Structure 1
Amino acid sequence: MSDQLHAQSPTPLTLPAADDFAAWLDRRCADGLASTRDAVRRLKAGEASTAEQALRIWDTGMIGMANAAAVGSLFSEVHPDEAVRDRGDAAVQEVQKLGTELQLDRELYDVFAALDAAELDPEAARLLDKTLLDFRRSGVDRDDATRARIKEINEQLTLVGQEFGKNIRDGKRTISVAPARLAGLPQDWLDAHPVGDDGLVTLTTDYPDAIPVRTFCHDRDVRREMVNAFLNVGWPANEPLLRELFELREELARLVGYDTWADYDAGVKMIGKGVAIPEFIDRITEAATEPAERDRDILLARLRLDHPGAEAIDGVDVVYYEELVRKEQYDVDAQVVRTYFDFSRVRAGLLEVTSRLFDLTYTPVDDAVVWHPDVTAYDVTLGGETLGRIYLDLHPRENKYNHAAQFTITDGVAGHQQPEGVLVCNFPKGLMEHDDVVTLFHEFGHLVHHILAGRATWSRFAGVATEWDFVEAPSQLLEEWAWDAGVLQTFAKNAEGEPIPADLVAAMRRADDFGKGYMARTQMFYAAMSYWFHTDLPDDLTEATVSLQDRYSMFRYVEDTHMFSGFGHLDGYSSGYYTYMWSLVIAKDLFSAFDPDDLFAPEVAHRYRDLILAPGGTRDAADLVQDFLGRPYTFDAYGEWLAR
């Protein structure tokens, strides 16, 4: 590949017609990996005469590999055709295999080790430093036998992780119940769930069924059936896969010189070291305990009005009684609230809010080729300059990724390719819960971060390329706009066109504060699973889950469930699920810089856009935050929010 790639005008990637998708995916992967191999050949042949030129050749190769990985990862999760999904999995395997091979290539490492960082500008020197660190963390300096074993482990980790994810994606469960047992569910939801020929209504564990049933269904046994089905997705197939995953990671960490996988994984994060993770978990747990106990006891007291002998509360009842408390004690009825959140209005409102906040323009691309009719595409511009393209794939369907996430199609590299990203969610097409609205804002935060940081000089720093325990902070910050009455009134309107009342939004906010302590404790339960599973390597994951739930959660274990089997973050986040809360601490501090009476004030909004989002990974996250706040971030804003 020629370095002239970096002089081309970026244009959108053209996706293929449906009947050519599998072949296109193969070509995209093959071309990307060929580019990578050619870059390696050139480096080893000594074609680079300067350190900057060597890095440029390497960057071109990394772009090719990243492009192959991105489309493989995306379409393995979202494409309706099983053959395409399988080709996507195969593409990811090929990329991971080549990546491992290169990171263990001592001759290639020596090329970079011989470069003189003094010749480079600061950003290029940062790239060189991180490239050398990647090689060392991969075990390039180990003996031949060790490198061979590392290669085997990495290839097996890819296969195990893909199988784990596939079991979750394809493992949707169903329950069938008589329609009379669905009392309490909203009428529009009932209308969308017709009675089958057997006289029963079939429900799935996908969010648009699971969440309303757990929230509104009066029949406790139906809620229990749903919770049991939901918490058993992926089980039993995923339990041995997880144990293998943890063991392989532990072996890999030790082979490259770390005591545990958590130490290895934390080494490139803000937190710095594995042992700091349980310290952080315990700090949040302690800060959350008083409000958690207070609100848990309120839930339990309300449960006892219906079930006088109840001694504790679990996942069957938590969401349902949480809704009752908010309705009865905070005057917030979620079934009334949802009438203001029609999906089409919410999607349009989200685009308008972020357009106004960041001075962006979204232009629908009506002729864009997409992989499903539900998918919409938009070109994004700033000041007349096209920044990139986004795709919104927001509704559930068979064999689709069943959570919510931002996926990449291309990373944005100046002069080479524009950033393109996809929002993959599972929202209903009609009325949405407000929690869904918050989730949509959150996930869109990742997408806008990807686009705004898409004019990088080096692909390594493009898009959401900061430390992994910072990447959630911008998304968590954007959630605040989904809670502001003035913002919501621009798009949250009922069937009569009346905007959501400000006093209702204020009550929603007060009601949302209810339970934040025990929610923080629940998150620390998940974070503890993520950490201790990787350090203790328990033989019985169910037993370990129960033990950690007893220690950290305010709610007891639901018998005969195995939630870890569907906990996809154990693959992608490995030992680092704590990062959500770490990011939230920073997000609350970032939000303190905004005027709550004028969330769109351009000076602070544009400064945030330019100092936090646009730089991508060009600087350490702590430095970006300090530039924006004018000081280092602190725990104070989060602590005050949690305590009030």
Structure 2
Amino acid sequence: MAMTFCGKRLLLTKNSIFTTLRKQHGFIVLVPEIGEDSPEKNPLHHDGLPEFSNISIEYCQAAIAKQTLEFEASVKSIEKKIENNECKDVFNDVFKPLEQVGAPLDMTWGLSKTLYLGNSSKMPTKSYLGIHDRARRARTSKYNSVPIYNVAKNELEMDDAQHSKEEKRLLQKFVLEGKLNGMELDSKQKELLIYSLRKIAVEKANFRQKIDIANKQFSHVIDDSKIVRDFPPETLKATAPDPNKPLNGPWKLSLQPHVYLSVMEHCPVREIRWNLWQAMVSRGSNYISRELSTSIHLEEIRFIRRDIAKILGYETFVDMSMETKMAGSLSTVQNMFNVLLEQALPAQEEEINNLYKFATDRGFRSERIELWDVPYWRRKQKKTLFGYDDEVIKEYLPLNKVLDGLFQLCEKLFNIVIKQRSNVSVWHKDVKYYDIFEPHSSAPVAGFYLDPYARSDEKIRTQNNGWMVAIQNNSSIADTKPLSALVFNFEPPTAKHPSHLTFTEVKALFQRFGHAMQHLLTRAVYSEVAGLSNVEWDAVEISGHVLTHWLNKKEIIDSITCHRDSEDKLPTTLFNALMSNQKHMAGLDLSRELYLSALDLEIHSTKDFWLDIVKRLWPQYRLFPLDKYDSHPCSFTQIFCDEWGAAYYSNLWSRMIAADVYSAFHEVQNDEQKLKDVGKRFRDTFLALGGSSHPSQIFRNFRGRDPSPKALLRSIGLKKSKC
């Protein structure tokens, strides 16, 4: 999944070190935004943009040291004011000072993250993590303040208080943050909470370390060049002894995601595919190594999470997680599962039968097709059925043309103007800067940097499709405008050709940009609830997913395509192949995602042994036999080491909401004025309100009803559209 450094949102769960900035005791995810101070010299142009040419590791470290002390001192000062009964207005005396002193800190933090992802030579990992940890500890001090918690809670409970919806949401954020951090516990309970959080941190670290070792220990060497002849160039480079001579073996296969997935799709030898698959699903199990078994850690993490939930007053960890989710309850999520599975399961059965017939017609000899066969034969089936080829589609997708079409779409839908500004200080010559204008103002209302190309010696490279870094959030109090950076690892241009994207990369660009739109076009007053700040975790990706739906329209594809030689638009035949490819075996994919989501929720809401849960759930969602070596929960780091516990369903939920949102556009697609009206409504709700209103209410304001899974089913081809 694509990663994001976004606003100071209240979340119970989130993923890895690249995307989560967790509290000292490990619970609430607070992802920062912005700031603008300096120990000596403020590194800003006169026009308010960071002067990246003057920003160094030393500057960021010194600035963070100064700004964190100032922030913590401000918290102490506010606490003293409250204790002396000098707090007459919680917004003027508490929240506004916190916004003002927090802005410089957040800016320095945001700049540091941008350099870390965009130019690691200027901001190495060790330096960034030091800045990150110090900033995180300072920023969380306001949520660990008993006086601030009490005054916010009292204000929220006042019957006669006249608060705007945004102000009420801000109060609710501080109260819930405080509750989940133990502000309502007595001293004995707090000791238990701290002990449990320290203990779970150890268990998570042990779990991750063992899986990391298992990943590194496995390898499979191929000597025969005939086996690798269909491997993509990037896979050959990643497995060859010398990346500069990818055709020279032997080729060493690994469990790195980009290697594993590609080999499973392109390796013609079934025994090799089985060996890789078995190694992947048996990591952390006793079958491979008792020393590297994670089963005990898995169970400990589950039980400690349940204990923590109990201490904080919740029946299960799932119940606690749902406090910070749009879905709000386990039953709501399960209802979604039931509706989707009703369509996904029969579709999965038909897809598997068709794939087996396709494979046997081409020489496959086995009683049934297995999980390690699916990627290989699926790729071949897509090519045969649709004539689909990633490389052919890529020739029609030059980056500059894609950006032009993307910007035109957003300008039309949201009534904005996007203009590139030159002579802006950046961290690399490839980086471009853009201003965003709205009709009501001659000055830009927001801005963003775009760093598109891979640079192996400078940029962080992981198996994701890019980052959106919220450098600065909107705040009327601190007088700051939204500023972000979009960082990708696309193919750089050559002397002969400009940069071209795969369709997967185009989708990632649209999704990250839709995500950025919610950050950049917010109208909230307080940065604490502006843009992506305080957005429930299962709703964070909605705006990004909405924008990707436009790639299903031929006119949008026409606006972003131009063949590298002929300059032709993507032909209708290739467009149809592209659309069919997106929906191929959708039942299988959806069933797998439903299974993993259900597994996560069941693990965190019951006491049953993990293997018993797997055996109970597997046949409800998967039509393959459960292999005796398959111990996939033992390497499910997303929910046990990262912060997806009781939240793995979030991506599916946000896709469901986004499909329903997009269906409002689809319903009026032939009426230009109505289309603009829907765009304005989306602009005024999802993009403008951000975290200042609950996403359930935002959806109702936009759609006039509660969400439905039907649009998602139609969008992936599992339910015929009536539109």
Q: Do both share a fold (TM > 0.5)?
A: yes
The residue that corresponds to 1:111 in the other structure is 151
- Indicate how the Cα distance of structure 1 residues 75 and 159 shifts in structure 2: closer, same or farther if over 3 A, else same: farther
Give the secondary structure class of the aligned counterpart of 1:490.
Answer: helix
Q: Give 1:265 shift.
A: 0.8
The residue that corresponds to 2:24 in the other structure is none
Question: Residue 80 of structure 1 contacts residue 399 of structure 1 at CA under 8 Å; is this kept in 2?
Answer: yes
Q: Give 1:191 shift.
A: 8.7
Question: Residue 113 of structure 1 contacts residue 132 of structure 1 at CA under 8 Å; is this kept in 2?
Answer: yes
Give the secondary structure class of the aligned counterpart of 2:180.
Answer: helix
Q: Give 1:240 shift.
A: 7.0
The residue that corresponds to 1:363 in the other structure is 420
Match of 2:357 among 296, 301, 309: 301
The residue that corresponds to 1:21 in the other structure is 57
1:84 aligns with 2:158: no
The residue that corresponds to 1:583 in the other structure is 654
Question: Residue 116 of structure 2 contacts residue 460 of structure 2 at CA under 8 Å; is this kept in 1?
Answer: no
Can you list the C-alpha shifts for 1:578-614, whole angstroms capped at 9, x where unaligned? Answer: 1222222222221121144579943322332222212
Q: What is the rounded CA distance, in whole Å, between the counterparts of 2:195 and 2:550 in structure 1?
A: 47
5 Å-filtered alignment, 1:63-78, equals: 63=103
1:41 aligns with 2:77: yes
Q: Give 1:432 shift.
A: 4.0
The residue that corresponds to 1:420 in the other structure is 483
Q: Give 1:233 shift.
A: 8.8
The residue that corresponds to 1:457 in the other structure is 525
Q: Give 1:314 shift.
A: 4.2
Q: What is the rounded CA distance, in whole Å, between the counterparts of 1:94 and 1:160 in structure 2?
A: 24
Q: What is the rounded CA distance, in whole Å, between the counterparts of 1:175 and 1:188 in structure 2?
A: 18
Q: What is the rounded CA distance, in whole Å, between the counterparts of 1:156 and 1:93 in structure 2?
A: 20
The residue that corresponds to 1:55 in the other structure is 95
Q: What is the rounded CA distance, in whole Å, between the counterparts of 1:452 and 1:476 in structure 2?
A: 17
- Indicate how the Cα distance of structure 1 residues 396 and 631 shifts in structure 2: closer, same or farther if over 3 A, else same: farther
The residue that corresponds to 2:556 in the other structure is 487
Letter of the 1:617 partner, please give it. G
Instruction: Give the count of matched residue pairs.
Output: 636
Which of 321-330 and 224-233 deviates more? 224-233
Q: Give 1:142 shift.
A: 0.9
The residue that corresponds to 1:445 in the other structure is 514
1:354 aligns with 2:400: no
Can you list the C-alpha shifts for 1:134-188, whole angstroms capped at 9, x where unaligned? Answer: 2223221111122234345556767877898899999788766454322234579
Q: What is the rounded CA distance, in whole Å, between the counterparts of 1:221 and 1:366 in structure 2?
A: 57
Letter of the 1:118 partner, please give it. A
Letter of the 2:445 partner, please give it. T
Q: What is the rounded CA distance, in whole Å, between the counterparts of 2:608 and 2:455 in structure 1?
A: 34
1:195 aligns with 2:257: no
Match of 1:467 among 525, 536, 544: 536
Q: Give 1:212 shift.
A: 4.5
The residue that corresponds to 1:602 in the other structure is 676
Question: Residue 531 of structure 2 contacts residue 690 of structure 2 at CA under 8 Å; is this kept in 1?
Answer: yes
Letter of the 1:444 partner, please give it. F
The residue that corresponds to 1:506 in the other structure is 576
Match of 1:316 among 363, 372, 377: 372
Can you list the C-alpha shifts for 1:377-427, whole angstroms capped at 9, x where unaligned? Answer: 444443442313234456484864432443333322235323233445555
5 Å-filtered alignment, 1:56-455, equals: 56-60=96-100, 63=103, 80=120, 84-98=124-138, 102-115=142-155, 118-154=161-197, 177-178=222-223, 179-185=225-231, 194-195=244-245, 199-201=249-251, 209=259, 211-220=261-270, 223=273, 245-306=301-362, 308-343=364-399, 345-347=401-403, 349-358=405-414, 359-363=416-420, 367-370=424-427, 376-383=432-439, 384=442, 385-392=444-451, 395=454, 397=456, 400-404=461-465, 405-414=467-476, 415-429=478-492, 432-453=501-522, 455=523
Q: What is the rounded CA distance, in whole Å, between the counterparts of 2:607 and 2:129 in structure 1?
A: 27
Give the % identical residues: 20
Give the secondary structure class of the aligned counterpart of 1:509.
Answer: helix
Q: What is the rounded CA distance, in whole Å, between the counterparts of 2:403 and 2:607 in structure 1?
A: 43
Q: What is the rounded CA distance, in whole Å, between the counterparts of 1:280 and 1:323 in structure 2?
A: 30
1:529 aligns with 2:599: yes
Q: What is the rounded CA distance, in whole Å, between the counterparts of 2:203 and 2:630 in structure 1?
A: 25
The runs of 5 or more residues in structure 1 that have no matched partner are: none
Question: Residue 638 of structure 2 contacts residue 645 of structure 2 at CA under 8 Å; is this kept in 1?
Answer: no
Letter of the 1:622 partner, please give it. S
Give the secondary structure class of the aligned counterpart of 2:395.
Answer: helix
In the superposition, the TM-score normalised over structure 2's length comes to 0.75
The runs of 5 or more residues in structure 2 that have no matched partner are: 1-34, 38-43, 286-291, 493-498
Which of 489-498 and 259-268 deviates more? 489-498
In the superposition, the TM-score normalised over structure 1's length comes to 0.83
Question: Residue 539 of structure 2 contacts residue 654 of structure 2 at CA under 8 Å; is this kept in 1?
Answer: yes
Q: What is the rounded CA distance, in whole Å, between the counterparts of 1:609 and 1:524 in structure 2?
A: 31
Q: Give 1:489 shift.
A: 1.9
Letter of the 2:126 partner, please give it. D
The residue that corresponds to 2:588 in the other structure is 518
- Indicate how the Cα distance of structure 1 residues 524 and 186 shifts in structure 2: closer, same or farther if over 3 A, else same: same
Q: What is the rounded CA distance, in whole Å, between the counterparts of 2:297 and 2:432 in structure 1?
A: 36
Letter of the 1:479 partner, please give it. T
The residue that corresponds to 2:48 in the other structure is 11
Q: What is the rounded CA distance, in whole Å, between the counterparts of 2:265 and 2:106 in structure 1?
A: 41
Match of 2:691 among 612, 617, 621: 617
Q: Give 1:52 shift.
A: 2.5
Can you list the C-alpha shifts for 1:9-51, whole angstroms capped at 9, x where unaligned? Answer: 9933444658x32651463365146324413422432454323
Give the secondary structure class of the aligned counterpart of 2:575.
Answer: helix
Give the secondary structure class of the aligned counterpart of 2:484.
Answer: strand
Give the secondary structure class of the aligned counterpart of 1:129.
Answer: helix
- Indicate how the Cα distance of structure 1 residues 95 and 575 shifts in structure 2: closer, same or farther if over 3 A, else same: farther
- Indicate how the Cα distance of structure 1 residues 460 and 237 shifts in structure 2: closer, same or farther if over 3 A, else same: farther
Q: What is the rounded CA distance, in whole Å, between the counterparts of 1:420 and 1:361 in structure 2?
A: 14
Letter of the 2:249 partner, please give it. G
Question: Residue 64 of structure 2 contacts residue 131 of structure 2 at CA under 8 Å; is this kept in 1?
Answer: no
Question: Residue 387 of structure 1 contacts residue 452 of structure 1 at CA under 8 Å; is this kept in 2?
Answer: yes
Give the secondary structure class of the aligned counterpart of 2:447.
Answer: strand
- Indicate how the Cα distance of structure 1 residues 107 and 509 shifts in structure 2: closer, same or farther if over 3 A, else same: same
Q: Give 1:260 shift.
A: 1.1
Letter of the 1:434 partner, please give it. F
Letter of the 2:446 partner, please give it. L
